[in-house]
Amino acid sequence: MNILVNTRLLLHGKMEGIGFYTHQLMQILVKKHPEHTFYFLFDRPFHQDFVYASNVVPLVYGPPARHPFLYLIWFEITIPRIVTKYKIDLFFSPDHFMSLRAKVPTVLAVHDLNFIHHPEHFPFIESRYYRYFVPKFVHKAKRIIAVSEYTKKDIIQTFSVNAEKIDVVYNAPNLPYIQFSEEEKEKIRKKYTGGKPFFTYIGSLNRRKNTARMLQAFDKFAEKYPNEACFVLVGKPMWKDKALDEVYSKLKHKDKIIFTGYLPSEEVSKILASSVALVFVSLFEGFGVPIIEAMSLGVPVITSSTSSMPEVAEDAAILVDPHSIDDIAQAMEKIYFDKTLRNTLINYGQIRKKHFDWNTSAERVWNTFMQALK
């Protein structure tokens, strides 16, 4: 069987959410199924690390699909030609997008419908593209993979899609698991905060991730407890956000806030493992991978009471109203000073993390592939 995979987000040294998702699944699937040929479709030169096995055939076809007009060319002109040329039996697209013109059974992964519920989180043209085409994609796809039960229900209710064609396949941690001594954690604290304890956030810095309110909540915490903790934010801005810049300019405790930018996964693991807690109070998530990454590293979690996050966290996190700065600040205070609570959440997290494993997820994705071919 010839399987075409959209791998345009496998970017060496620059991978983020869906890129990691693609990487984790495909490195398992190609090795478990050596009898099949996997054509990996890149829209720019690729790194050899992504050729996971001898049954992977990398293809590079432009244009680089990084803008809605280029999405149209790549998905509706380039991909149909490749499907015909290489006699593709199945197309897997892990990033919301697919080809309406390609005559091949397609499995589409949908991570969330944030573009429907919060179009203001996207640049105008991106938002219009998502809102126009994704409804068409979900109806055209032979099968859909949703990353949570919440996302599955959202797809069904929003687009009137038949529930029978949607399979729920959870994500799993992307960060490498490390066993980290207290001495090593102290070195990380000295490196980033001069030795002070710190809260951590991992992800893009943008409106959807609620970055502004997290900063304001920490500023409240720091105002009340000026000598206690810092806040380390790991990630980079997704788009220019003047509102976030304005919020940051008014903070009183900027000296306790550290922006690291994009970091290698191993360094991110070290920072997270060394923190007091993960603060991940996004406004909307289809899953929320940092939640389970913190659990796997033995770090308590503060997350949102909205969308998929209660489903992922269950009892292993403090749930807050992401729109309430006071609620977030109070959770920071509670988790920082209550050691018993921290230990309880860590213990619950160790139980909860067992539900998320890439090998299990890869097996379920393969089952979806087989269903799509029936």
Structure tokens, 76: 């509706």
Q: What is the mean pLDDT of the chain?
A: 95
Residue with tokens 């593209």: 129
Fold adopted by 182-355 = Rossmann fold (3.40.50)
What is the reported pLDDT for 240? Answer: 64
What is the reported pLDDT for 123? Answer: 85
- Give every residue of the chain whose pLDDT is below 50, as ranges: none
What is the reported pLDDT for 238? Answer: 62
Q: Which of 193, 326, 344, 198 has the alpha carbon at shortest distance from 272?
A: 198
Given this structure, which CATH class describes domain 2-172+357-372? alpha beta
What is the reported pLDDT for 114? Answer: 93
Q: What is the pTM of this model?
A: 0.92
The beta-carbon contacts of 81-87 under 8 Å, at least 24 apart in sequence, are 82/4, 82/39, 82/41, 83/4, 86/2, 86/4, 86/39, 86/59, 87/2
β-strands 56-60, 301-304: how paired? unpaired
Residue limits of CATH 3.40.50.2000 in the chain? 2-172+357-372, 182-355
What pLDDT digit, counting tens, does each position of 252-297 carry? Answer: 999 999 999 999 999 999 999 999 999 999 999 999 999 999 999 9
